[in-house]
C-alpha cells in the first residue's frame, strides 16, 4: 500500500556565528511503502552533505551545529518543494 508523506527540511545554517539557525526551508515529498524518513535522509546527505558542521571552523564541542534537519509535516502548502521521491516498489 502506497503512502505519501511530507517532510520539512531546514538547511543552510549560519556557520559564521551560529546563532541565527537555518536560513532555508523546503519540502521533500516521499511516496513509498516503508522507510519514508530514510529516503529523505539519503536525499539530504546527497544534496547538503554531512549532517554536522562546526561554527566558524572551530572543531570543538561548543561549535557543533547541524547543517540540515528533518521533520514530518501534514501539509506542504507554505514551502518550496525541493524534490519528490518515489519508491521503485510503488506500481
Written as tens digits, the pLDDT of the chain (91 aa) is 569 999 999 998 777 776 678 889 999 999 999 999 999 999 999 999 999 988 887 889 888 888 999 999 998 888 999 999 999 987 6
Name the pTM for this structure: 0.86
| Closest to 30 measured CA to CA, from 57, 2, 6 | 6
Residues near 9 by beta carbon (within 8 Å), at least 6 away in sequence: 25, 26, 27, 28, 40, 44, 68, 69, 70, 82
Domain annotation covers residue 14 = yes
Domain annotation covers residue 65 = yes
Domain annotation covers residue 91 = no
Number of compact structural domains in the chain: 1
Q: Domain of residue 11: give its range.
A: 3-86
Residue position matching grid coordinates 524518513: 37
Q: Give the three-state DSSP class for 57.
A: helix
Amino acid at each position: 500500500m502506497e503512502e505519501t508523506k511530507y517532510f520539512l527540511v531546514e538547511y543552510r545554517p549560519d556557520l559564521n556565528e551560529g546563532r541565527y539557525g537555518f536560513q532555508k526551508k523546503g519540502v521533500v515529498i516521499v511516496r513509498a511503502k516503508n522507510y519514508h524518513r530514510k529516503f529523505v535522509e539519503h536525499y539530504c546527505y546527497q544534496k547538503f552533505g554531512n549532517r554536522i558542521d562546526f561554527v566558524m571552523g572551530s572543531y570543538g564541542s561548543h561549535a557543533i551545529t547541524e547543517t540540515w534537519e528533518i521533520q514530518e509535516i501534514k501539509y506542504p502548502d507554505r514551502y518550496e518543494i525541493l524534490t519528490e521521491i518515489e519508491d521503485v516498489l510503488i506500481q
